[in-house]
């Protein structure tokens, strides 16, 4: 089985006991209408997560201060007051699908001048990130448990983000599942609205088909322009650490595509 076949099996069967379950194709809930067109499904559910006792203790101690629960069914809330939450006014970056937060932590440490919000459905991943924050005393990360699309739509205001990061989103390789992919034209439209002028969307994937799909969707969004980090100065770094996930992709011979767009300023 190819590497992507393995990833496919992971995405569909769900190796993790608390991985999100998407509604089946028959449910008709993959998309819904919105001001941004057809956004990917937000009917993600998260099953019970088994946390270790250390993770649970850290969660109980730190989540009330550093985390927000925005899963479907949580009390509805408006946009987050990030200034109050971080205790300062700094450029804001949102990472969707942070997994266990390896990149989140390293990138937040490398750019202490930025405030970083990590969004993930997978509770144990968030608990691992909380434990890492605890042991490193990093102060510029906050966490939201929920669907990144809902978070962008309901908790983030227009023109507020300096960066959006999406690293190795689930590729959903089967054609009939492509509509479940996180990065769709409607997602780019929503991200374009939430970015400040000059803000950056940085995506990375090791799946060639998804890379093409992402490139086409991003290039079709009129409020975004491809950025070349080698020649342009960007407000956020696009240097990522190599995660365990990425090492596996390299070992399997998959090339990683880095896709970067910028929301042009009016004087660009
Ligand atoms: C393949 S993993 C990559 C994790 C991490 N970014 C990395 O590079 O190691 C994709 C992650 O995205 C999360 N995810 C998928 N759809 C999501 C959504 N709509 N909102 C938030 N997280 C999502 C999954 O739970 C999973 O942890």
Q: Quick: pLDDT tens for 97-137.
A: 999 999 999 999 999 999 999 999 999 999 999 999 999 99
- 267 or 24, which is more confident? 267
Nearest 5°: the CA angle 42, 46, 49 is 160
Nearest 5°: the CA angle 252, 255, 257 is 140
Model pLDDT for residues 35-66, shown as the tens digit of each residue: 666 778 644 555 556 999 999 999 999 999 99
Please say whether the beta carbons of 201 and 164 come within 8 A.
Answer: yes
Domains and CATH numbers, the chain: 88-268 (3.40.50.150)
Does ligand 1 lie within 6 Å of residue 20's CB atom? yes
Q: Is the pLDDT score of 28 beyond 50?
A: no
Which atom belonging to ligand 1 lies closest to the Cα atom of 44?
19
Average pLDDT, integer, range 242-252 = 85
Provide the total of helices (H) and of strands (E) in the chain, helices listed first: 9, 8
DSSP 254: P
Q: Residue 115's closest CA among 154, 141, 81?
A: 141
Which atom belonging to ligand 1 lies closest to the Cα atom of 95?
6
Measure 204 CA to ligand 1 centroid, in angstroms: 12
Could you tell which of 39, 69, 99 is best to mutate to test the pocket of ligand 1, judged by most ligand atoms within 8 Å of the CB? Answer: 99
Q: What is the pTM of this model?
A: 0.86
């Amino acid at each position: 089985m190819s590497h992507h076949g393995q990833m496919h099996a992971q995405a569909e069967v769900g190796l993790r006991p608390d991985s999100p379950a998407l509604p089946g194709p028959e449910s008709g809930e993959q998309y819904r209408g919105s001001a941004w067109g057809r956004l990917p499904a937000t009917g993600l559910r998260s099953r019970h997560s088994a946390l270790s006792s250390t993770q649970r203790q850290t969660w109980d101690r730190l989540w009330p201060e550093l985390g927000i629960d925005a899963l479907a069914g949580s009390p509805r809330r408006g946009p987050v007051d990030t200034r109050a939450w971080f205790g300062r006014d700094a450029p804001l970056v949102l990472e969707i699908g942070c997994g266990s937060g390896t990149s989140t932590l390293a990138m937040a440490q490398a750019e202490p001048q930025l405030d970083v919000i990590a969004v993930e459905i997978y509770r144990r991943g968030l608990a691992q990130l909380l434990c890492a924050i605890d042991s490193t005393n990093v102060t510029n990360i906050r966490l939201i448990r929920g669907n990144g699309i809902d978070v962008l739509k309901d908790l983030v205001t227009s023109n507020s983000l300096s960066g959006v990061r999406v690293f190795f989103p689930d590729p959903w390789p089967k054609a009939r599942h492509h509509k479940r992919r996180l990065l769709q034209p409607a997602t780019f439209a929503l991200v374009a609205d939430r970015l400040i002028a000059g803000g950056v969307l940085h995506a990375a994937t090791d799946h060639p088909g998804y890379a093409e799909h992402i490139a086409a969707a991003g290039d079709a969004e009129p409020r975004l322009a491809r950025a070349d980090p080698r020649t342009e100065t960007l407000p956020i770094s696009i240097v990522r650490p190599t995660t365990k996930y990425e090492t596996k992709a390299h070992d399997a011979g998959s090339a990683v595509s880095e896709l970067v767009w910028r929301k042009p300023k009016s004087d660009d």
